[in-house]
Amino acid sequence: MSASAPKFSLLLATLNEERRLPVLIESIRRQRYPRECVEIVIADGGSTDATVRIAREAGCAVYDNPVVRCEPGIAIALSKATGDLAVVMAADNPFHDEDFLTNLAKPFADPEIAAAFPMLVNTAEDSATTRYFNAFTDPFNHFLYGSAASPASYHRTYRIKKRTPDYVVYDFQAGPVPLIGLAQAFTLRLPYAKPEGTDEDDLVPVEMLIEAGKQIAYVPAALVEHHTVGGIGAALRKYAPRFRVRLRDPEQPLWQRSRGWNSGKRVRAYLWPFYSMSFVFPCFVSLYGLAVDRRIEWLYHPFVSAAFGYEFWKQFLTFVWQRVAGRK
């Protein structure tokens, strides 16, 4: 790998992304990084709009994703990557400025760095709900992982193994398992293949890197936007199907992942539906977080938690009613 300009393979799984894909591609074109050191590899799940045409006209390498779903698509794109570094992207992740790739490449000058992840940032168009998600992730995972859920609180959760002007390496091995997914521009040193049995999972591959003792750098100067959920109504419409499928399918990655949780994390998972609707406890947590982190997004916590709790209970009670009615 060239120390001055490693080659990036930007990996993307798409399905009908004609609206968001041009914005992402334009943010890549604006990079002050050698053009010959950037490739875009797309696994498309059968788009019926102009996604594939837009991608090919922009010079992207496009492959079929017969499974359609995102995670298997990323595995396909990863198998086709020819770069030194693979960046796992989503269509709602445009780069925030022209130096994203330059900054993201810096930790990999150290051969001991196996992976890196950027900072999520907001723009003026982002709603309060999106700002909350970008700061802390969704309310369930925020409750489940606590201060290990977000870089916003890593400084009070993990010992720092290495700090440079360009990046930080936290001692993830010595603390609670952090919530770090492959999406949102997680970057891997190649060659790398997703471990067997993780094709549908976004989190376990990162956990396995940590368990193997690999060093992962946090790069706060590499800024990526995450226009994820819009307002609270859009967020609930997005997450309601996830609640439904998790209630019905015991083979969902969440349930498979839960088999490795300790008893404390299991208890928290079962407590969340009650915590979220209590409002009082999220208010206390919100005030504490605001005091220690000084982030305004903490003020949204009780309201976002209550909205998601309501949606969960609605889906849960519907599921129970259908099961009971089906037995009559």
Residue 2 lies in a domain: no
pLDDT tens column, 3-47: 579 999 999 999 999 999 999 999 999 999 999 999 999 999 999
> Do 212 and 117 fall within a single domain?
yes
Residue 3 lies in a domain: no
> Do 133 and 82 fall within a single domain?
yes
> Do 162 and 132 fall within a single domain?
yes
Number of domains the chain contains: 2
pLDDT at 70 over 60: yes
> Do 216 and 252 fall within a single domain?
no
Residue 1 lies in a domain: no
pLDDT tens column, 88-134: 999 999 999 999 999 999 999 999 999 999 999 999 999 999 999 99
Calculate helix-pair angle for 301-327, 263-278, nearest 10 degrees: 100
Query: Which of helix, strand or coil describes residue 41?
Result: strand
Residue after which a domain boundary falls, among 196, 225, 254 = 225
> Do 81 and 180 fall within a single domain?
yes
Query: The domain spanning residue 62 has which CATH number?
Result: 3.90.550.10
Rounded-to-integer distance, Cα 280 and Cα 129, Å: 20
Rounded-to-integer distance, Cα 34 and Cα 37, Å: 5
pLDDT at 1 over 70: no
Predicted local distance difference test score (pLDDT) of residue 228: 85
What's the domain range around 247? Answer: 232-327
pLDDT tens column, 157-207: 999 999 999 999 999 999 999 999 999 899 999 999 999 889 899 999 999
pLDDT interval class at 328 (50, 70, 90): low
> Do 170 and 38 fall within a single domain?
yes
pLDDT tens column, 219-253: 999 999 999 888 999 999 999 999 999 999 988 88
> Do 213 and 258 fall within a single domain?
no
Rounded-to-integer distance, Cα 270 and Cα 239, Å: 18
Predicted local distance difference test score (pLDDT) of residue 256: 87
> Do 192 and 266 fall within a single domain?
no
pLDDT at 317 over 90: yes
pLDDT at 288 over 60: yes
CA distance to 68, 96, 205, 225, 231, per residue, from 198 (Å):
16, 30, 7, 26, 31
Rounded-to-integer distance, Cα 178 and Cα 173, Å: 9
Residue after which a domain boundary falls, among 184, 204, 225 = 225
Q: Is the CB of residue 23 less than 8 Å from the CB of residue 58? A: no
Rounded-to-integer distance, Cα 117 and Cα 108, Å: 12
pLDDT at 325 over 90: no
Q: Is the CB of residue 160 less than 8 Å from the CB of residue 170? A: yes
pLDDT at 53 over 60: yes
Predicted local distance difference test score (pLDDT) of residue 32: 97
Average pLDDT of the chain to the nearest whole number: 94
